[in-house]
Structure 1
Amino acid sequence: MKVLAAMSGGVDSSVAAARAVDAGHDVVGVHLALSRAGGTMRAGSRGCCTIEDAVDARRVADELDIPFYVWDFSERFREDVVDDFISEYAQGRTPNPCLRCNEKIKFAALLEKALDLGFDCVVTGHYARLIEQPDGTRELRRAAEHDKDQSYVLAVLNEQQLQHCWFPLGDDESKAQVRAEAERRGFVTANKPDSYDICFIPDGDTRTWLGDHIPMRPGAIVDAEGNQIGEHAGAAAYTIGQRKGLNIGRPAPDGSPRFVLGIDTERNEVTVGSRAALAIGEVSGQRFNWAGPAPQADRFDCLVQVRAHGEAVPGVFIRRAAEISTRPDATEPGVEVAVRLAEPIHGVAPGQTAVVYDGERVVGAFTIDRTESAVETGESAPAA
């Protein structure tokens, strides 16, 4: 089998590529250049896809004696990930750029080019499992080690893409296992720290970065009744559930802290209130994807996860006619999917991605367009 190994320059992708070589496949390594900033370097464990990472990936490829290339995807990355990130925040939503990168770059642009060049699949260092069914379809499932599970950020992959993916680390019991293997192989990446934060904001200061890319103007901070209680420097810099940096100067009348409940970028207004008001009983959206065969039922018990490192919570999945048409890019015009939660979750924002699970299996994912408070939904999910 002809395999393209996506090599980020980290320990996981290094070991994944090595296992593909060990399996006897014809392996070629590729590193994606996602920025044209000439001096981009990693700062500790912040960021990824830097010059240092490209050098490390090449050194591992040399150890494996496989061809290695750097592909410039910087323009596509800017358009599909960075510009999308800016646009979403400008509209008061909270996107996940790493998930969008998987969807648009690593498993769309990269996979498309790999197939055009005659490769059979792309191998990566993601922690997730693929299970092939008797009929040839594939199911995406959580990794054996739940603490490292990355099925959440892979839930945007469709059935056709899953047919050409390989995740060799999905059955590993621990990250320590993978690091030990890299050390035995003599890889320079063996003890390299994991990257975190947004790769194009390596210093981690998202608010300042957004201020450089979105026009900000002062506006009102209001309470749930619409009374102005403060002023912000720009509504687009806030996120639902945010507590710090509100600069209100005083707590609520009962002494409790305030949290961001809503962001209206058209009115340039930020609404704040109690933590109790953040409790959400339902999430819904019109842009959805099935990670494998589409579910046959329009309603079934499920688990849902709304953050990459969050906990999956029980609820009921519902596919129904859309109450409000909000997305020009809706997957099926007039249709939305939702999850009615068994117990409220807090601080969920439009723009986040909800991933639906049936036990360990990833059913699919949808971008959250609307949330309903737990009070309005009755705080508990009805039986499916």
Structure 2
Amino acid sequence: MNHYNLDKNKVVVGMSGGVDSTVAAYQLKAMGYEVIGVNMRLWQDDFLSESHFMNDGGCCSLSSVEDARRVCMQIGIPFYALDFKTVFKETVVDYFIDEYKHGRTPNPCIACNKYVKFDALLEKAHQLGAYYVATGHYAKIYHDDLTDRYLVEQSNAILKDQTYAIYNLTQDQLKHILMPLGEFESKEAVRQIASRFDVQISEKSDSQEICFIPDQDYVGFLKRNSDIEDKQGNFIDSEGNVLGTHLGIVNFTVGQRKGLGVTFGKPMYVVAIDADQNQVVLGEGDAVFSDHLIADKVNFILFDQLEGPYACEAKIRYSAKPAKCTLYPLPNNEVKVVFDMPQRAITPGQAVVFYEGKKLVGGGTIK
């Protein structure tokens, strides 16, 4: 990282035009920080009508720029709209496409946090002389004097907690990040603050799913933005017996039951996807459960690296309940995760994130 003359009282807030980032900026100004609002232009799909991107399209919507500009004026902070489209395409969209090509189910929000919000935006903040970046994430970051490490804890508003999406932040990044919404008890409490100065923002619905695919047709998105084609292949069982024909592996994800395009007279689930052979493996209910996984690209926050077996809890998707498990270190920055109880639909490409109570231990990508 370049050496800039950084002011610890200055913070750049990523402004999406939504209620969370708006209240984050408002709170930081009230705490005495010199706050700069930045809206990141990330993506626009020319194929979709403008109306798809006008309203409730999250951080990629056209309306978000004007909403962010307006609330910055009301809060009384400077506002910049900056173009991050190139880094977003390279680190989020291209990764998203590549994962589907290889039969995996990506998590673009985690990639965006790592490479865009807390890397590219942090670099921009430093250029502006700001020591910190801040976002409207529901999570707590603090310095632990005993270990001299920056640690992450779940938000007080546990139903909104977003620690799952920030497991791969580094110590260098964490020391420059503020997340003022972590102390709030609920989203309603955040909306109440927003309603004091902008009713329109306070009533905005939460952004859903993937921001750069506002129509939620990710297969259509993949076809428009890559050379992926619907290539017919076989449904097979775990023994390799052909069960039928599918219309392309990008249409499926592990654990899926509906929308297979074929009926079998009994519930069948996607158990695995073999991109090399263009095959989708199906099985009955029990086949979709497993008690272990291998994760790669592992990052730990609580310590530098895993030295031996480590008992904790893990979530295999954002909405999952933490499940008791033991981590075992493997070579090449990988870990084996063995669960006390089998887990449903462990999905390659998704994140597995480790917890010890409310503390975020770290996480990796399910391999």
Q: Which amino acid aligns with 1:219?
A: G
- Alignment-derived partner of residue 329 in structure 1: none
- Alignment-derived partner of residue 176 in structure 2: 164
Query: 322, 334, 337: which is aligned to 1:336?
Result: 334
Distance 2:143 2:52 in 1: 40
- Alignment-derived partner of residue 15 in structure 1: 23
Shift of 1:8: 0.9
TM-score (norm 1): 0.88
- Alignment-derived partner of residue 320 in structure 2: 310
Distance 2:205 2:306 in 1: 42
Distance 1:68 1:33 in 2: 13
1:169 aligns to what SS in structure 2? Answer: helix
Shift of 1:267: 0.9
Tell me whether 41-50 or 199-208 shows the greater mean CA deviation: 41-50
Q: Which amino acid aligns with 1:194?
A: D
Matched, 1:247 2:255: no
1:170 aligns to what SS in structure 2? Answer: helix
Matches within 5 A, 1:246-285: 246-251=260-265, 256-285=266-295
Q: Which amino acid aligns with 1:126?
A: H
Asked if 2 retains the 8 angstrom alpha-carbon contact of 1:162 and 1:292, the reply is no
Matches within 5 A, 1:209-228: 209-212=221-224, 213=226, 214-228=228-242
- Alignment-derived partner of residue 374 in structure 1: none
Query: 10, 23, 36: which is aligned to 1:28?
Result: 36
Matches within 5 A, 1:128-147: 128-135=139-146, 136-147=148-159
Matched, 1:3 2:39: no
Matched, 1:192 2:204: yes
Query: 35, 55, 62: which is aligned to 2:73?
Result: 62
Asked if 2 retains the 8 angstrom alpha-carbon contact of 1:210 and 1:237, the reply is no
Provide the alpha-carbon RMSD of the alignment. Answer: 1.7
Distance 1:208 1:130 in 2: 38
Distance 1:116 1:247 in 2: 52
Task: Describe the shift of the 1:194–1:119 C-alpha distance in structure 2 as closer, same or farther (beyond 3 A).
Answer: same
Asked if 2 retains the 8 angstrom alpha-carbon contact of 1:9 and 1:49, the reply is no
Q: Which amino acid aligns with 2:80?
A: Y
Distance 2:263 2:314 in 1: 36
Percent identity reads: 38
- Give 4+ residue runs of structure 1 displaced > 3 Å after superposition: 36-48
Distance 1:169 1:2 in 2: 18
- Alignment-derived partner of residue 84 in structure 1: 95
2:200 aligns to what SS in structure 1? Answer: coil
Shift of 1:236: 2.8
Q: Which amino acid aligns with 2:287?
A: A
1:87 aligns to what SS in structure 2? Answer: helix
Asked if 1 retains the 8 angstrom alpha-carbon contact of 2:149 and 2:171, the reply is yes
Asked if 2 retains the 8 angstrom alpha-carbon contact of 1:159 and 1:293, the reply is no
Shift of 1:246: 1.3
Asked if 2 retains the 8 angstrom alpha-carbon contact of 1:289 and 1:366, the reply is yes
Shift of 1:65: 1.3
- Alignment-derived partner of residue 328 in structure 1: none
Tell me whether 302-311 or 283-292 shows the greater mean CA deviation: 283-292
Matches within 5 A, 1:82-121: 82-121=93-132
Q: Which amino acid aligns with 1:274?
A: E
- Alignment-derived partner of residue 367 in structure 1: 365
2:11 aligns to what SS in structure 1? Answer: strand
Query: 240, 248, 251: which is aligned to 1:234?
Result: 248
Distance 1:43 1:340 in 2: 45
TM-score (norm 2): 0.92
1:196 aligns to what SS in structure 2? Answer: coil
Q: Which amino acid aligns with 2:16?
A: S
Asked if 1 retains the 8 angstrom alpha-carbon contact of 2:44 and 2:60, the reply is no
Q: Unmatched 5+ residue regions in structure 2?
A: 1-8
Task: Describe the shift of the 1:45–1:249 C-alpha distance in structure 2 as closer, same or farther (beyond 3 A).
Answer: same
Task: Describe the shift of the 1:49–1:358 C-alpha distance in structure 2 as closer, same or farther (beyond 3 A).
Answer: same
Shift of 1:44: 5.5
Asked if 2 retains the 8 angstrom alpha-carbon contact of 1:131 and 1:138, the reply is yes
Asked if 1 retains the 8 angstrom alpha-carbon contact of 2:150 and 2:171, the reply is yes
Asked if 2 retains the 8 angstrom alpha-carbon contact of 1:40 and 1:50, the reply is no
Task: Describe the shift of the 1:44–1:274 C-alpha distance in structure 2 as closer, same or farther (beyond 3 A).
Answer: farther
- Alignment-derived partner of residue 290 in structure 1: 300
Distance 1:260 1:317 in 2: 26
- Alignment-derived partner of residue 5 in structure 2: none
Shift of 1:237: 2.4
Shift of 1:36: 4.3
Q: Unmatched 5+ residue regions in structure 1?
A: 322-332, 370-384
Aligned residues: 353
- Alignment-derived partner of residue 122 in structure 1: 133
Q: Which amino acid aligns with 1:142?
A: Q
Asked if 2 retains the 8 angstrom alpha-carbon contact of 1:89 and 1:237, the reply is no
- Alignment-derived partner of residue 357 in structure 1: 355
